[in-house]
Chains A and B, each alone.
Chain A
């Protein structure tokens, strides 16, 4: 067992667990986006940021990838953490304002303004679908491609993958494009928020496969 302090409370947790697991087990809420039980931590969204250490040596780390250490002092909701978290949410919201998951996060953390230009990206590169595909579905049909501003998720060579089984796991887990899944039944859409934002994803013809990683779109295939 490892002894550490979370928000001033001395606790001891299993060796090998992460700070996020320890905090959630003990009931300290830490928001997450790219973290999912059953998938390896990836540390892409940085939403689970916490402050470790004290004084000038204190630093922000992503709790989902940080293993617990003996004597570690963790703060999950210090002023610095909250400020960083709000900024991260605001940036995520700018890149993908149509996502219900990110809208909920913004709402829950009091992000009321949007200072950045909205990009309407169909992907925030959180890697959930890639991990889902390779770790849970054992397919490895999609992966990251390129780097920097060119980075994207998709099948190799942009052709239909021969290992994809159309399980839809990637769409199920995607935080950015889940409205896409209900495109064929707009009345069942989670909140119809997409209809109030431009561009609305209901106009499928107009926006083509903007909301879709896969070609052809699995949602349309399933119907």
Chain B
């Protein structure tokens, strides 16, 4: 467990009573559950008794004290869904996954849970897998939902979603393509870069889909650290012209064509990126230096 990360979360939430739920929410978002050591640390740092913190953590259903799987399937058991046979859907999911509601499969992939109402009663029986709603679920759709969840519902489809489109980028210095046709993210060739951090170097892959929230691959760089990005061909550093609108870290400008760059945040974990169509001519700028 990352003690420092939790201390950071506690600190920037302030140390008042009202902040407890916010702190626990952030820890849960980070670890997908509330580790025991984290709760002890929160109690110690905020000056509350562990019994208080534990009481809050067990009171709210949104908090989990057990690790959750990578994918979460929630079956609605609200009144409207219930009368349309949601209980049968839960049983089907239990059978399909071999776990009871509230449990996680042994490979830590899928967590099955029941919720009391999703507010989508007209769509009942409703199932939510990783934030995607499946309306009017019948028993024979269950295995399809499980397969879809296991294969990842986070992937974006550039063909059907107009807000998402693939980009072809190259190094702003040497103009060689940064696309890696052998490494696909979101079903498209990924953008490959060298990231350096504290003297270490690591190859990272970014999704080339504009609008994608898929995290960059490459495990050598710690979460939340700002990296320097280099071209894997000419090894020059990707220049930065602006700061990320989401977190304020410098953004690396990847070349698309004359006067047009795709800027991505250099902080690992930050999804900030934007298209800059008014960029000054990078080549001239570089020559001027």
- Of A130, A145, A155, the contact of B58 (CB 8 Å cutoff): A145
**Complex formed: what's the CA distance from A145 to B60 in Å?**
10
Q: Are B36 and A143 in contact (CB under 8 A)?
A: no
Q: Are A140 and B58 in contact (CB under 8 A)?
A: no
Which B residue sits closest to A134, measured CB to CB? B49
**A25 interface hit (Cβ, 8 Å):** no
Q: Interface residues of B: mostly helix, strand, loop or mixed?
A: helix
Q: Are B59 and A147 in contact (CB under 8 A)?
A: yes
**A156 interface hit (Cβ, 8 Å):** yes
**B133 interface hit (Cβ, 8 Å):** no
**B39 interface hit (Cβ, 8 Å):** yes
**Complex formed: what's the CA distance from A31 to B55 in Å?**
29
**Complex formed: what's the CA distance from A161 to B48 in Å?**
14
**B210 interface hit (Cβ, 8 Å):** no
Q: Are A143 and B51 in contact (CB under 8 A)?
A: yes
Q: What band does the interface of chain B fall in when counting residues whose beta carbon is under 8 Å from A?
A: 10 to 19
Residue-wise interface mask of A (123-155) relative to B, using a CB-CB cutoff of 8 A (1 in contact, 0 not): 000000010011000011111111100000001
Using Cβ atoms and an 8 Å threshold, which residues of chain A touch B48? Answer: 140
**Interface residue count for A (Cβ, 8 Å)?**
17
Residue-wise interface mask of B (45-82) relative to A, using a CB-CB cutoff of 8 A (1 in contact, 0 not): 00011111111001100000000000000000000000
Q: Are A141 and B51 in contact (CB under 8 A)?
A: yes
Residue-wise interface mask of A (82-114) relative to B, using a CB-CB cutoff of 8 A (1 in contact, 0 not): 000000000000000000000000000000000
Given the known A-B contacts A146-B59, A147-B59, A157-B36, are A140 and B49 also in contact in the complex, defined by CB atoms under 8 Å?
yes
Given the known A-B contacts A156-B39, A157-B36, are A140 and B51 also in contact in the complex, defined by CB atoms under 8 Å?
yes
Given the known A-B contacts A146-B59, A147-B59, A156-B39, are A163 and B49 also in contact in the complex, defined by CB atoms under 8 Å?
yes
- With both chains docked as a complex, state the minimum distance between the C-beta of B78 and any C-beta of chain A, in angstroms: 16
Using Cβ atoms and an 8 Å threshold, which residues of chain B touch A157? Answer: 36, 54
Using Cβ atoms and an 8 Å threshold, which residues of chain B touch A143? Answer: 49, 51-52, 54-55
Using Cβ atoms and an 8 Å threshold, which residues of chain B touch A145? Answer: 54-55, 58-59
- With both chains docked as a complex, state the minimum distance between the C-beta of A160 and any C-beta of chain B, in angstroms: 12
Using Cβ atoms and an 8 Å threshold, which residues of chain B touch A163? Answer: 49-50
Using Cβ atoms and an 8 Å threshold, which residues of chain B touch A161? Answer: 50-51
Q: Are B55 and A144 in contact (CB under 8 A)?
A: yes
Known contacts A145-B58, A155-B51; 16 additional CB pairs below 8 A are: A130-B51, A133-B51, A134-B49, A140-B48, A140-B49, A141-B49, A141-B51, A143-B54, A145-B54, A145-B59, A146-B58, A146-B59, A147-B58, A156-B39, A161-B50, A163-B50
Closest 4 CB pairs of A and B: A140-B49, A143-B51, A156-B54, A143-B55
Q: Enumerate chain B interface residues (CB-CB to A < 8 A).
A: 36, 39, 48-55, 58-59
Provide 28 A-B residue pairs closer than 8 Å at the C-beta atoms, listed in order of the A residue: A133-B51, A134-B49, A134-B51, A140-B48, A140-B51, A141-B51, A142-B51, A143-B55, A144-B55, A144-B59, A145-B54, A145-B55, A145-B58, A145-B59, A146-B58, A146-B59, A147-B58, A155-B51, A156-B39, A156-B50, A156-B51, A156-B53, A156-B54, A157-B54, A161-B50, A161-B51, A163-B49, A163-B50
